[in-house]
């Protein structure tokens, strides 16, 4: 069985700039110590250098994609039943089969699509992915005599494999499986074993490799080097997917998509919309008009700051729309989080369409949709994943839209967007801003959204940000904010009984928001935040701290 146990991943936030020296070192290992020629042809351009991750439902699929991208090779995650027609545009140089919770001998267990074996591509099967390879290529998979979860020592059967170039013959690895390979498929040989897995790595001469362990997790120290050897030596990748190259290619794609059309961009002041707007402006210049909609759900002084920043520093066409009353009217009485997101998403589109009419003929709407938005909203290209929540700019969009979407960041993770922002020359203070949800404070108020509650939450949020920055913790956290709960509690101030709101403080560390850990904030910082909130915000008399990680929780409460 390919059952996966959770590995304690490092969730500290990555800095915006990547470790290019480390990538270069992996490239040198792959090129100088591999001893054989790459199995794939060199790409004609960086756009042709891509790897496909076939997802069998693994909790680590996103982590595999991240590790590949950290090595400067573009990749996308596709469901296990994706057809060749759905991936051919990527011109993949290799395939990774993810782990998963199933067992290959179970009825209806997911298997790799036929094109994985029919296109002469290098393939790397990880955990369940290795068992799929063995099962489909004529080997045998059986339940292990005992399951193997956690640390194990991997021993190479024979030196000289390009997969282990530059690595010692014994390595600590992270295992998470119940089944094991009982018989190798024809043409395969064993490359390594552990005490509980006689075949922990297998390969054939066509570049098809199976790993029983997880190279993508932090608890396999040499895992990134193993992935690098597969990408650079076996697949023939060059590691050319850099922020600079992405900017050049995205600019050209936007020009081709937009042509002579006009674009409006949903500008919020956050990192995603700022980078998306800058990319589109770089591509089509004055064909772009940015629109900042004050929906009444933004943080204190946010609209004014965004207008000043973009008009003074970015030199873009900017239209400011005050739609506060309109959004609050639509949200009146709405308490369901999913409905809030859909209401905000739809109203945004309607405002944009109306503004487009005022501007004349407008054809496109640009927005800063990211890959985690697509994944969590279960967009069509990721139908195998469960929907966690609807993101206002993906599942929250209305079915009828006049404008076509331009989404240059749709397949990037947040830290990749930050790198692109720096490559575009955006100021670091803008690029390093913590994420802010598209539906704004509406999903940080549990229950109905009112003007009074918004003002209470803005005051609490201001204090949280002030103290986090004063303690020099802002850049160390993925997000930190206040949540206004729908709970009231009894308190005492002076000699009087109070009955006020309970405010929850949320602070997390993360790499890409797909997983997150609650931040161990110093007690003195929490004490200052709590003391200031109950003293400066009269409607609040109790402050609690959320110590839930993701999973099982999400970063936002709604």
pLDDT digits (tens, 9 = 90+) for 509-544: 987 777 789 999 999 999 999 999 999 999 999 999
Of residues 353 and 383, which shows the higher confidence score?
353
Vertex 298: Cα angle to 295 and 300 (nearest 5): 130
By mean pLDDT, which of 104-113, 288-297, 350-359, 525-534 is the weakest?
A: 350-359
pLDDT of residue 491: 82
pLDDT of residue 19: 35
Residue with tokens 């499986």: 177
pLDDT surpasses 60 at 378: no
Please pick, among 75, 76, 80, 127, the residue that the annotation labels catalytic.
127
pLDDT of residue 496: 73
pTM of the model: 0.69
pLDDT of residue 483: 98
Please pick, among 214, 219, 233, 392, the residue that the annotation labels catalytic.
214
pLDDT surpasses 50 at 34: no
pLDDT digits (tens, 9 = 90+) for 145-162: 555 567 889 999 877 789
Of residues 342 and 401, which shows the higher confidence score?
342
pLDDT surpasses 60 at 44: no
Q: What is the mean pLDDT of residues 269-277?
A: 89
Of residues 372 and 28, which shows the higher confidence score?
372
Cis before 551 (ω within 30): yes
Band (pLDDT 50/70/90 cuts) for residue 178 is low
Domain-wise residue ranges, the chain: 20-234, 243-431, 450-545
pLDDT surpasses 50 at 40: no
pLDDT of residue 513: 77
pLDDT surpasses 50 at 36: no
pLDDT of residue 177: 56
Query: Among residues 396, 287, 300, 390, which one has the least CA distance to residue 348?
Result: 396
- Please tell me the class of the 450-545 domain: alpha beta
Task: Examine domains 243-431 and 450-545 and report if their fold is the same.
Answer: no
Of residues 2 and 322, which shows the higher confidence score?
322
Per the CB < 8 A criterion, the answer to whether 110 and 57 are in contact is yes
Please pick, among 148, 216, 376, 416, the residue that the annotation labels catalytic.
216
The answer to whether 248 is a known catalytic residue is no
pLDDT surpasses 60 at 395: no
- Give the C-alpha distances (Å, rounded to integers) separating 555 from 436, 491, 514, 526: 11, 28, 9, 19
Q: What is the mean pLDDT of residues 12-34?
A: 37
The DSSP-derived string for 119-155 is S---EEEETHHHHHHHHHTT-EEEEEEEEEEEEEEEE
**Tokens standing for 476?**
């160390």
Distance CA 506, CA 465 (A): 11
Of residues 525 and 274, which shows the higher confidence score?
525
Q: What is the mean pLDDT of residues 271-296?
A: 93
pLDDT surpasses 70 at 347: yes
pLDDT surpasses 60 at 29: no
The answer to whether 135 is a known catalytic residue is no
pLDDT of residue 321: 93
Residue with tokens 């990527």: 90
pLDDT of residue 145: 52
Band (pLDDT 50/70/90 cuts) for residue 438 is confident
Q: What is the mean pLDDT of residues 156-183?
A: 86
By mean pLDDT, which of 264-268, 312-316, 462-466, 546-550 is the weakest?
A: 312-316
Q: What is the mean pLDDT of residues 165-190?
A: 88
Per the CB < 8 A criterion, the answer to whether 456 and 501 are in contact is yes
Query: Among residues 48, 29, 33, 400, which one has the least CA distance to residue 249?
Result: 48
Which sign does the torsion angle of CA 420, 426, 427, 431 carry? negative
pLDDT surpasses 50 at 41: no
Percent of the chain scored above 90 by pLDDT?
56
pLDDT surpasses 80 at 202: yes
Of residues 397 and 297, which shows the higher confidence score?
297
Band (pLDDT 50/70/90 cuts) for residue 467 is very high
Mean pLDDT of the chain: 84
pLDDT of residue 234: 96
Query: Among residues 77, 141, 64, which one has the least CA distance to residue 109?
Result: 141
By mean pLDDT, which of 88-102, 215-229, 389-403, 414-428 is the weakest?
A: 389-403
pLDDT of residue 401: 53
* Percent of residues in the chain assigned helix, strand, coil, to nearest 5: 35, 25, 40
Tell me which CATH homologous superfamily contains domain 243-431. HUPs (3.40.50.620)
205 half-sphere exposure, CB direction, 13 A CA radius = 2
pLDDT surpasses 90 at 93: yes
Band (pLDDT 50/70/90 cuts) for residue 383 is very low
The answer to whether 127 is a known catalytic residue is yes
> Which fold is adopted by the domain 20-234?
Rossmann fold (3.40.50)
Query: Among residues 465, 458, 342, which one has the least CA distance to residue 395?
Result: 342
């Amino acid at each position: 069985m390919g059952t996966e146990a959770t590995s304690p991943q490092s969730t500290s936030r990555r800095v915006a700039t990547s470790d290019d020296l480390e990538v270069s070192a992996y490239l040198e290992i792959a090129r100088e110590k591999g001893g054989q020629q790459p199995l794939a042809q060199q790409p004609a351009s960086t756009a042709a250098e891509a790897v496909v991750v076939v997802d069998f439902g693994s909790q680590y699929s996103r982590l595999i994609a991240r590790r590949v991208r950290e090595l400067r090779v573009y990749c996308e995650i596709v469901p296990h039943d994706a057809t060749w027609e759905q991936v051919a545009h990527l011109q993949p140089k290799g395939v990774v089969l993810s782990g998963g919770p199933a067992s290959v001998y179970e009825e209806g267990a997911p298997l790799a699509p036929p094109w994985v074996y029919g296109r002469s591509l290098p393939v790397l099967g990880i955990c369940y992915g290795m068992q799929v390879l063995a099962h489909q290529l004529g080997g045998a998979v059986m339940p292990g005599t005992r399951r193997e979860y956690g640390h194990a020592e991997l021993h190479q059967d024979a030196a000289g494999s390009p997969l282990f170039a530059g690595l010692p013959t014994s390595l600590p690895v992270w295992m998470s499986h119940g089944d094991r390979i009982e018989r190798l498929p024809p043409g395969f040989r064993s490359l390594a074993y552990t005490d509980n897995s006689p075949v922990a790595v297998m390969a054939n001469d066509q570049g098809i490799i199976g790993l029983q362990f997880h190279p993508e997790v932090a608890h396999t120290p040499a895992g990134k080097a193993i992935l690098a050897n597969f990408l650079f030596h076996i697949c023939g990748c060059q590691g050319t997917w850099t922020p600079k190259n992405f900017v050049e290619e995205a600019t050209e794609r936007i020009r081709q998509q937009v042509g002579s059309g006009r674009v409006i961009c949903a500008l919020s002041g956050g990192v995603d919309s700022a980078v998306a707007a800058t990319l589109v402006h770089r591509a089509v210049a004055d064909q772009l008009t940015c629109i900042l909609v004050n929906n009444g759900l933004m943080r204190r002084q946010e609209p004014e700051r965004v207008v000043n920043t973009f008009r003074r520093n970015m030199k873009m066409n900017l239209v400011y729309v005050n739609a506060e009353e309109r959004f609050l009217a639509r949200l009146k009485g709405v308490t369901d989080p999913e409905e809030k997101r859909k209401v905000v998403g739809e109203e945004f589109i309607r405002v944009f369409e109306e503004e487009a009419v005022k501007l004349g003929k407008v054809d496109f709407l640009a927005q800063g949709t990211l890959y985690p938005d697509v994944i969590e909203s279960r967009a069509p290209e990721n139908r195998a994943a469960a929907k966690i929540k609807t993101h206002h700019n993906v599942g929250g969009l209305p079915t009828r839209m006049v404008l076509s979407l331009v989404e240059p960041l749709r397949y990037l993770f947040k830290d990749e967007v930050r790198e692109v922002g720096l490559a575009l020359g955006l100021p670091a203070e803008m690029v390093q801003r913590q994420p802010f949800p598209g539906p704004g404070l509406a999903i940080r108020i549990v229950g109905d959204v009112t003007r009074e509650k918004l003002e209470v939450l803005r005051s609490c949020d201001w204090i949280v940000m002030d103290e986090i920055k004063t303690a020099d913790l802002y850049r160390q956290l993925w997000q930190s904010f206040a949540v206004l709960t729908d709970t009231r509690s009894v308190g005492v101030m002076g000699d009087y009984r109070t009955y006020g709101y309970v405010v929850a403080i949320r602070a997390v560390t993360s790499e890409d928001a797909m997983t997150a850990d609650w931040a161990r904030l110093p007690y003195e910082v929490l004490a200052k935040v709590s003391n200031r909130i109950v003293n400066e915000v009269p409607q609040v008399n109790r402050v609690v701290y959320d110590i839930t990680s993701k999973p099982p929780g999400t970063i936002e409460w709604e």
